[in-house]
Amino acid sequence: MNDAPRTARIIEQRLDWLTCTARAGARAEELVAFGLVALEADAGQGDQVKPFAFQGYQGQGHKHLSVGDRSDGAIIVCRGAEADTLAPYLANLADHWSRVDVCVTAIADDPTYNPAQEYWELGQRDDPNDPALPKISQARTRWGGTTTYVGSRVSPVFARTYDKAAESKGRYPAASWRWELELKQFASETEQTRWQLDPNRSAMSRPLVAEQFRKWGLGVPFDSGDRCELWRSPKRERSVDSKERWLRDQVRGSAQLVAKIYGRERVIEALGLSGFN
């Protein structure tokens, strides 16, 4: 493997997927109305609208945008550049972003460069008893390209790297490579908040991708620019903490009422705390 510094020319940096939801009621109605207007505009540009069904949601959509609802709320799924276009609006219209994909596509100066293979080989050399990298896996497809995955699909941050020219069947130029981060849970929720504060956050796609791969010790062939903050995992809640929260949320009001009428000792007795120091 050539250890010389790699360089590549970025041709796109943006969101590539966005799944968001809103709870039933006015929020869901607003989300669906927005999605239908966007669908109508796309249909006017030639996109064919078809029925859409996903996890109980029913609606309509096309290749890049789907809109649906069910008894407990509504959903919009954006794919490709549509996600980047609609993200500033959906950051405020949706209650929750459940998945966000951030991508960078670049054309390598060296036509033999293959980051998917490079990351795979690094993973094979990793110490299985004390790994420095997250899980590294690989898939080969009929179109001839290879995708290397970093991490677990169910984790908050999951990544993939693949030959975009091969995957797109020549729509992208030769030597085009795609780096993607698939964000869920606290990572996607954090991104929604950040988009609410900065509608132009798409410009952070390149630094985010570069910073995450750098954190894993996996090089990327483009300038990462300024360092940026990734996503902080929330503090793990202990069982005793969740019990305390439940007491505050579910019991406190009743306990206060009983104490007001019968006195504090009655509450302590009812909770079985008599004799506790």
Pick the residue with more confidence: 246 or 28? 28
Rg over CA atoms, the chain: 24
Look at 58-67, 98-107, 140-149 and tell me which has the smallest mean pLDDT: 140-149
pLDDT at site 234: 74
Q: Look-up: residue for tokens 């009983």? A: 258
Q: Which residues of 42-58 are buried (b: 16+ CB within 10 A; e: fewer)?
A: beeeebebeebeeeebe
Please check the confidence at residue 2 and state whether its pLDDT lies above 50. no
Phi, psi torsion values for 184, nearest 5 degrees: -140, 175
pLDDT band at 199 (very low <50, low <70, confident <90, very high): very high
Banded model confidence at residue 109, pLDDT cuts 50, 70, 90: very high
Nearest Cα neighbor of 115 from 161, 149, 152 is 161
Mean pLDDT of 234-248: 73
Residues 83-95: tens digit of each pLDDT: 999 999 999 999 9
Q: Which of 45-54, 183-192, 218-227, 237-246 has the lowest mean pLDDT?
A: 237-246
Mean pLDDT is lowest, of 129-138, 189-198, 239-248, for 239-248
| 6 pLDDT higher than 60 | yes
What does the pLDDT read at residue 254?
Answer: 87
- Name the pTM for this structure: 0.82
pLDDT reported for residue 1? 42
